[in-house]
Structure 1
Amino acid sequence: MNDIQRFLAHAIQLEKESARRYAELAEAMDTLGNAEVAEFFRQMSHYSRLHQKEAMERGGFHDLPNLAADEYHWPNGSSPEAAWGHVNPGIDVLGAMSLAMHGEQRSHEYYQTIADETADPEVRAMATEFADEEAEHVVQLEVWQANLAKLTAVN
């Protein structure tokens, strides 16, 4: 991807989907009665909305870019965050963390691949920055998963 506006349009869509998925996970955790994990997912949804807003500002978009489905270039035909599918309302905490982890890993790989393959220095710099942010989210989820695994092992 060698056009900054096209890159940002993809980033905006990816972050929009990420915010929605995290909100779904928060609702599922509320239903499960796990307020702490629900709040973590709400926080992650908030971060996704901030990233979406940042991408819109950087691209000078006042509204979400309106690309047709065939104008997006996603790995395997869909956004890394759309690959989650719908969140099963009966999902348990570890399953929810696993879904979130896979989404963040796919998003990191997506941005990193663009950074590695683009010929445009502006796209490379921004894709690297976004990949680094996704890598931070992966680390946050790893910490949560490790702590939850310890709690599960104790109980």
Structure 2
Amino acid sequence: MNSIRNFLAHAVRLEAEAARRFDELAEHMATHGNREVEAVFRQFADYSRLHLKEAMARAGFRYISELPLGGYDWPDGEAPESAPWWGVDALMDVEAAMRLALHSEQSGLDFYQGIAERSGDPRVQAMAAEFAAEETEHVETLQAMLAALPREA
């Protein structure tokens, strides 16, 4: 990825998809009365919306519809931070929700790190490295939260 606008378009779409998916997961948990896990997913949807606003501001986008129609270059055909639905059910516990969020954040981190390593544009490299650093913080926070969860005997 050798264009700063293309990079930011990807970042905007990635964060929009992450927020949308976490909102869907939260609604699913709310429907089944799992309020504790719903709260975890809502928190991560809010984090994604904050990153979305930042990426849109940097790119000068006011609306997501302003993004290019030429398609996106995702590693697996889907935005990396789109939390998968596998393992999601009404009985999901907080630990499983956090592991799902960790998987999502790690995918975003890997995506940004890959761009920072492979881009031929120094501006893209620098911004991707900055976004990767933010994702590293999220991954580390989630790892610490998981480690702090009480363990059943």
TM-score by length of 1: 0.84
Which position in structure 1 is the counterpart of 2:104?
Answer: 103
Aligned residue in 2 for 1:153: 152
Asked whether 1:76 is paired with 2:76, we answer yes
- Structure having the higher helix fraction is 1
Give CA deviations for 1:67-110 in whole Å, capped at 9, x if unaligned. 34x62001022211236147734122222111111111110000
- Does structure 1 conserve the Cα–Cα contact (< 8 Å) formed by 2:41 and 2:97? no
Determine the structure 2 residue equivalent to 1:140.
Answer: 141
Amino-acid identity (%): 48
After the TM superposition, which residues 23-42 of structure 1 pair with which residues of structure 2 at under 5 Å, given as runs? 23-28=23-28, 30=30, 31-34=33-36, 38-42=38-42
Residue type at the aligned position of 1:61: F
The 2-side partners of 1:83 and 1:24 are apart by 10
Structure 1 residue ranges (4+ consecutive) displaced by more than 6 angstroms after TM superposition: none
TM-score w.r.t. length of structure 2: 0.85
Aligned-partner residue type, residue 120 of structure 1: D
Deviation at 1:25, TM superposition (A): 3.9
Q: 1:62 maps to which residue? A: 62
- Give distance in 2, aligned partners of 1:139 and 1:75: 23
Would you say the 8 A contact 1:20–1:45 is kept in 2? yes
The size of the alignment, in residue pairs, is 149
Q: C-alpha distance in 1, partners of 2:84/2:128?
A: 22
Identify unmatched segments of 5+ residues in structure 2: none
**Offset of 1:122 from its aligned partner?**
1.1
- Counterpart CA distance in 1 for 2:89 and 2:68 is 31
Cα pair 2:83 2:101 within 8 Å, conserved: no
8 Å contact from structure 1 (residues 25, 41) kept in 2: yes
State the alpha-carbon separation in 2 of the partners of residues 89 and 24 from structure 1. 12
State the secondary structure of the residue aligned to 1:133.
helix
Would the alpha carbon gap of residues 93 and 118 (structure 1) be closer, same or farther in structure 2, given more than 3 Å must change? same
The residue that corresponds to 2:12 in the other structure is: 12
What RMSD in Å do the two structures reach over aligned CA positions?
A: 2.1
TM-fit CA distance, 1:40: 4.1
Q: Is the 8 A contact 2:40 2:97 kept in 1?
A: no
State the alpha-carbon separation in 1 of the partners of residues 97 and 132 from structure 2: 22
Structure 2 Cα separation of the partners of residues 105 and 6 of structure 1 = 21
CA displacement at 1:2 relative to structure 2: 0.5
